[in-house]
Amino acid sequence: MNIKTGGCTEDCSYCAQSTRYQKGTGVEAKRVETVESVLEAARIAKENGSTRFCMGAAWRDMRGRKNSLRNIKDMVSGVRGMGMEVCVTLGMIDEAQARELKEAGLTAYNHNLDTSREFYPSVISTRSYDERLKTLGHVRDAGINVCSGGILGLGETSEDRIGLLHTASTLPAHPESFPVNALVPIKGTPLGDRKPVEFTSMLRTIAAARVTMPATIIRIAAGRKTMTDEQQALCFMAGANAIFTGEKMLTTECNGWDEDAALFGRWGLEPMKSFQKSKSPELQPQA
């Protein structure tokens, strides 16, 4: 769920929510959703089979956002009270903010590396790769699971995709969750006219992520809407073991719960329960 849409000061060249591209994308900045509306959405997600509720906000960071952080902590503890895992992605955070989110019961914090260190400046110029890594450090040190993955189809090379995987798999601990996004070209953004990434690059990135991070949950994220059943099945066989499902994924289309339940039925897949790790104890994220 997008709990705060648009109005972001960063210049991520794929993103509809940056104020820099607002004229072209038409995405208006909205206020933060109320705690009640977010918890209502979480209840609907749980009724439809979601096991983790992810909340995204279009901010660079949380400086000076004390009230918003208080409300988000209420959202976090409210979702946990429903017996669901809960993840937020709020931009860069500091040590104290990470600790507060942990105390509120946060399961995971999403902050994607997106691509290789070398290619990152071609995609985003308003923050550095090391600032990204610093937030991942605060998240890890606070004892919150790290959710950090990438986005393919930015114009990166396969060396860049290897660079992304190398950075993620050589962090002090493997991320608990590694989302793999295929660029959804959004009109009005600098990458609005890019051709979608070849499916084989998506598949090989998932397979390489599975080999290098054996216990990490690999989530097929944005772009799954454009995949056939068979392509999604290939992603699962290559090692993906989670999906984003629901009405929207921030500002991009998402496969709905009914569509995904039917897909799982056809392929004999069943979701793990909330807080259930892999069945084999040796497959726990390594330090």
Site of interaction with ligand SAM (CB under 6 A): 14-15, 56, 58, 89, 91, 110-112, 114, 151, 181, 183-184, 186, 222, 250, 252
Contact (CB, 8 A) for 240 and 268? no
Q: Is 87 annotated as a binding residue?
A: yes
At residue 57, the 3 state secondary structure works out as strand
Pick between residue 20 and residue 224 the one whose CB is nearest to ligand SF4: 20
Place of tokens 């901010």: 59
Query: Cα dihedral angle (120, 225, 90, 23), rounded to 10 degrees?
Result: 80
**Choosing from 20, 65, 132, 219, which is the catalytic residue?**
219
How many angstroms separate the CA atoms of 78 and 204, rounded?
A: 38
Under rule CB under 6 A, how many of the chain's residues touch ligand SF4? Answer: 9
Least distance between ligand SF4 and beta carbon 221 (Å): 13
DSSP character for 251? T
Active site residue 8: yes
CA distance 72 to 251: 20
Residues 51-70 that bind ligand SF4 (CB under 6 A): 58, 60
Per CB under 6 A, the list member of 1, 3, 5, 18 interacting with ligand SF4 is 18
The candidate with the shortest Cα–Cα distance to 54, out of 215, 278, 273, 245, is 245
Q: For residue 235, indicate whether it is catalytic.
A: no
- 156 touches ligand SF4 (CB under 6 A): no
Of the listed 65, 127, 147, 254, which one is catalytic?
147
Which DSSP helix (H) or strand (E) runs through 219? Answer: strand 217-220
Least distance between ligand SAM and beta carbon 265 (Å)? 27
Set 20, 52, 54, 132: catalytic member: 54
Q: How many other CB atoms are there within 10 angstroms of residue 170's CB atom?
A: 9
Interface contacts to ligand SF4, rule CB under 6 A: 8, 10, 12, 15, 17-18, 58, 60, 91
Residues of the binding site for [2Fe-2S] cluster: 54, 87, 147, 219
